[in-house]
A and B are shown apart, each in its own frame.
Chain A
Amino acid sequence: MSRRLPTNFILGAILVALVVGTAALSLVWTPHDPTLLNIPGKFDEPSSIYWLGTDQLGRDVVSQLMAGARNSMAVALIAVLIGGSIGVSLGLLASAIGGWVEDAVMRLADLGFAFPALLFAIMLAAVLGPSLSNAVLAIAFINIPIFARVARASANQIWTRDFVSAARAAGMSRLAISRDHILPNILAAVIVQATIEFAVAILAEAALSYLGLGAQPPASSWGRLLSEAQTLLYLAPQLVLYPGLCIVTAVLGFGLLGDGLRDITDPRLVRER
């Protein structure tokens, strides 16, 4: 493998920077207020004022997209962080203790695989009402088994290494070893997985918001923008394009980045790309 960074990493990094940068920017500046109504100016063509035109209530499309970026990033970040932390902890625990505890913990984590995020979100929405935080919870929930698996598999390999045996011989507790030795060494695999799950989370949040189970008005979300645009398909078909393109860019970006990271951190893996 040449010293050059793999193409997918570079491409992914560019796309991610674009999306994250836009989201960060939206915290301080958007061309217009995304919630500002301007009924007379509805369905405007793209112009120098409204770069991509306006929607059915005269709101600036670009500003809405930027606000949507902010929400998508936030949801994905929080969900992956929560799910990832719990999952990695479970995985480390299972790996450290081993035996039937390991089997039991993994079985428990596997329950998460039976529940697609959507089903869990549906349940939460039905009992607690639809909201963005419920979407976060649902996505976090399904991330737990994924991270538990990755963490456990990587941790199991590290436990066999000599320096860990040395630490055990020196009397270090399994907790301390997990924290000081195992965790830093599985970080690479976890980060790769987190990047990929980020992409999945963005997709999931978009789907949930589209279905009305995620972002509620006036909170902006690409998914919600799409569902609104769908009702206007005959009037303003172009409104359907932009949010979708944003979603694709973000998901593609994080996916490529994750793949690229995996290629970089796992050189022994001869993968056919």
Chain B
Amino acid sequence: MQTRSIGSFALKLSLFIERLAAYPCIAATGAMTVVVLLGVLFRYVLQSPLSWSEEVARYLMIWAASLAISIGIMRREHLGITFLTSRIPASAQKYVAVLVNLAVLWFLWILTKFGYDMALEGQTQLSPVLAKYRINMMWSLSAIPVAGALAIIQTVLQIVVDLFRRKEDFDIKGMVDI
């Protein structure tokens, strides 16, 4: 009973952090659409092209997509090939999943750590078009360490969920359809 409650606490926390990433991700995806449309509108209808629309939209996309990585971890949408692992006993599957997640954590740690350094260095580098508004590269580069840190938290929580919850609580998703 005790272990089950650890699992459900981890799941609740995981859901909370998912929302923390989801709202900015939704906002950034929506804003990116509006910004590109504004770019088209200003160029053709108002005949005065916006210099910044492409750059702003690109930064919004980088933020939206990076934040969504941690959402995908929580929703288990990042797909692997399961035809081998699905053939081993369920109890062993759990430990293979934990092992894989530890390797994932290692990658995310290096991405986050060096991403943090990269974002700090970006402070001294002005953004190409937005330079006139004194915007530096840290604003977009920091998407990588922020998203990386969220992804690390979600991966740890998913390891806890894997270890402490029963098999039927899993929700394994299908295939990415673009």
Pairing of A with B:
no
List residues of chain B with CB under 8 Å of any chain A CB.
Answer: none
List residues of chain A with CB under 8 Å of any chain B CB.
Answer: none
